Structure 1
Amino acid sequence: MKTLGKREANKLGRRQAIVEIAALSFMEHGYAGTSMSAIATELGGSKSTLWGYFPSKEDLFAAVMDDATAEFRAQLDDVLAHKGELADTVLAFCRKFITKVTSPDGCGLYRLVAAESGRFPEVGRIFSSRGREPVGRLLAHYFQSQIDAGTMRPSDPVRAAHMVLSLCLGDLHQRTLLLGFRASPQDIVAEAEAVTADFLRAYASSESAG
């Protein structure tokens, strides 16, 4: 059992090394410019070894996305699990989300997807299924709990989640993404407060708003 445990640990370590090398390659060279052969060479193994972990570049990109978003989703889940006021929870969620999407890594990932998804639709599908969709489900689940509790008006929680995420990807994110603007903590707070205010006007119940 001890030997098996060591073998499994080695496999996990090898897999993580592949994902980290691939992440750097995708960000530096793009999806089209990244090859399984180059990753295998940098890893110091054969392509057959690499394929044993990831049968295709699409599978490898999905693993990179999972690695890039898993911890962030867990952080957002913790924010939404906090038993606080609706306004405070939504504000905390927006601050964390906007901080992420305006960060250098967040903008780099958005640029990669925007540049490559036209030629490689799988890039956009993977980005959506590993990124925005799970976050949207987390937020919609929270909103449903608030509707049930009466702090939100009866409404479609999925639509409410889409609205909040779209607003979080608004002006500040676009300026950071397209114009190279460096968002300060104060900019992020102001944007999160504006999104939260718009959300509350649209969805908060009269009791919650009061």
Structure 2
Amino acid sequence: MTAPDTPPIPSRREARRQDRRDAILTVAQTYFLEHGFAGTTMSGIAAELGGSKGTLWSHFPSKEALFAAVVERAAKAYQAQLSQILNVDEALELTLQRACRSLIEKVTSPDGSALHRLIVAQGRRFPELSQIFFDLAPQNTRLLLADFLHGAMMRGQLRPADPVDAARALLSLSLSGCHQQMLIGRIDRPAPNEIAADATFAVDIFLRAYAP
């Protein structure tokens, strides 16, 4: 048996460059959420970082590329968390409830809701923002969930159907409660029991619709 390949250890230079990139993304995320896309400039972010604008441009060729990297980092972190939740060895209903809870917690978090407001407020003026956000966050999350649901269909836990449509239905049900209340300003942020109730409701309706 051959040993599995291990990823190469980055050089000190590569590690420093990655650390610098992460620091830029952390500052840029806060700056975008506080100032919006239109109000964010590469010069402003460079000033926050305390470095030269040239250093920032060496990592990201445009403000759009920087925004995409911010969204991608946040989306990948959440999708890695969701991948751990989607455990095929656990009861399907429990797994789906955990997944829905994690989704609602994410989109109703301060950063999640601030990003949503940014996209809604400036997406029409900057349509590329909406596309970047959709491709990296909602779309990839939907596809990840769809892959899990397809496996459940193949195992006979759910009736055969289009798994992407099934994922869309489950996500829509999950966000139809306290998240919608947040968007229209009826609540500031949901309580944990409200999030759990929304997840339970969504999974109950979903399983009724997709029962084998």
CA-based RMSD: 1.3
Unaligned runs of 5+ in 2: 1-9
Aligned residues: 202
Name 1:208's counterpart in structure 2: none
Unaligned runs of 5+ in 1: 206-210
Which of 63, 69, 73 is 1:63 aligned to?
69
Contact 2:86 2:95 in 1 (8 A): yes
- Percent of aligned positions that are identical: 47
Letter in 2 for 1:186: N
1:34 aligned counterpart, secondary structure = coil
Name 2:184's counterpart in structure 1: 178
Runs of 4 or more consecutive aligned structure 1 residues displaced over 4 Å after TM superposition? none
Say whether residues 1:196 and 2:198 are aligned partners.
Answer: no
1:119 aligned counterpart, secondary structure = coil
Matching of residues 152-171 of structure 1 within 5 Å? 152-171=158-177
CA distance in 1, matches of 2:176, 2:136: 21
Contact 1:102 1:177 in 2 (8 A): no
Q: Deviations over 1:13-55 (max 9, x none)?
A: 1111111111111010000000011112222232222111000
Q: Deviations over 1:131-184 (max 9, x none)?
A: 111111111101111111111111110100011111122121011233143211
Say whether residues 1:76 and 2:79 are aligned partners.
Answer: no
Matching of residues 47-196 of structure 1 within 5 Å? 47-179=53-185, 180-196=187-203
- Identify the structure with the greater helix proportion: 1
* Shift, 1:6, TM fit: 1.7
Contact 2:123 2:130 in 1 (8 A): yes
Greater Cα offset, 59-68 or 39-48: 39-48
TM-score by length of 2: 0.91
CA distance in 2, matches of 1:102, 1:23: 17
CA distance in 1, matches of 2:63, 2:43: 10
Q: Deviations over 1:58-110 (max 9, x none)?
A: 11001111222222111111111341122111111111111111122211111
Name 2:6's counterpart in structure 1: none
Contact 1:36 1:57 in 2 (8 A): yes
* Shift, 1:204, TM fit: 1.7
CA distance in 2, matches of 1:6, 1:182: 43
CA distance in 2, matches of 1:110, 1:194: 23
TM-score by length of 1: 0.92
